[in-house]
Amino acid sequence: MTTQQPEHSPLGKKVDYQDHYDPSLLFPIPRRVKREEIGVDEARLPFRGVDIWNGYELSWLNARGKPQIAIATFAIPAESPCLIESKSFKLYLNTFNQTRLDDDRALVDCLTRDLRQAAGAPVAVALTRPADFAAERFAELPGESIDGLDIAIDDYSPDPSRLHADAGEVVEETLCSDLLKSNCLVTGQPDWGSVTLHYRGARIDREGLLRYLIGFRQHNEFHEQCVERIFTDVLRQCRPETLTVYARYTRRGGLDINPWRSNDPAARLPANLRTARQ
């Protein structure tokens, strides 16, 4: 699949929904362009990570034509050369609605193959079937909330100069905020999220961090790009020894996207637990 630029995607355009299998609808976007903008060399990424997607509107037909449903989880590695534009992902998943498949394995194999081709790297796919829906859990992001700080805001752009760390003892802590909001890079539609930062290093000034995070409120970027910008700005301005940034965004079109980035060798992938807003 050839990669394309966001302005050529189906975002913000009227489209006809297809309900028969069509992998050509997937729209890969190179990560390189936005990474160059924030000074990240793709050959030497300052982080490892994954984009965790959850698809809540997946349906297909079994071999006898009976509808099947599942919640699908997709893990796209941050090292992949491309992210996948979310509306194209939704359109692609809808093409299974009237597609007959022999069993769950056939569906997972198909999804795995197509998404690997689009992202340019292996993508892990898992299904949660209705018998297991009751076991699904909710949890808020870990950390001490900084949202209660009484600050005045008059600028809504993500200015890295707001970030700084206090000289002194090394601390290890987790801070979180539910006030993350950014806008779609193409349509300008709002994207709502929560973010948590775990770091070890000089103590990060909390007011400056909250001002910085609120600064994304009128910023236009995809979810994955926002998280990488946050990670890179905090790393450069505050110089922590280790840093992990994880965001959970509310769903749109039956999909939520949850990017995780870390340079901490001890950090483990987070459990894929939905927040209350998701």
Known catalytic residues are 184, 191
Alpha-carbon distance 248 to 54, whole Å? 11
- Is 176 within 8 Å of 246 (Cβ atoms)? no
DSSP code at position 124: E
Query: Which residue do the tokens 């069993």 mark?
Result: 103
Angle subtended at Cα 10 by Cα 124 and Cα 93, rounded to the nearest 5 degrees: 35
Rounded to a whole number, what is the distance in angstroms from the first to the last CA of the chain? 31
Query: Which residue do the tokens 């949202």 mark?
Result: 147
Angle subtended at Cα 75 by Cα 213 and Cα 274, rounded to the nearest 5 degrees: 55
36-39 contacts, C-beta under 8 A, 24 or more apart = 38/228, 38/229, 38/232, 38/233, 39/232
Could you tell me the two tokens for 188?
């300008």
Backbone angles phi, psi at 228, to 5 degrees: -70, -35
DSSP code at position 269: P
- Is 245 within 8 Å of 261 (Cβ atoms)? yes
Tell me the three state secondary structure of residue 58. Answer: strand
Closest alpha carbon to 251 in 108, 112, 57, 49: 57
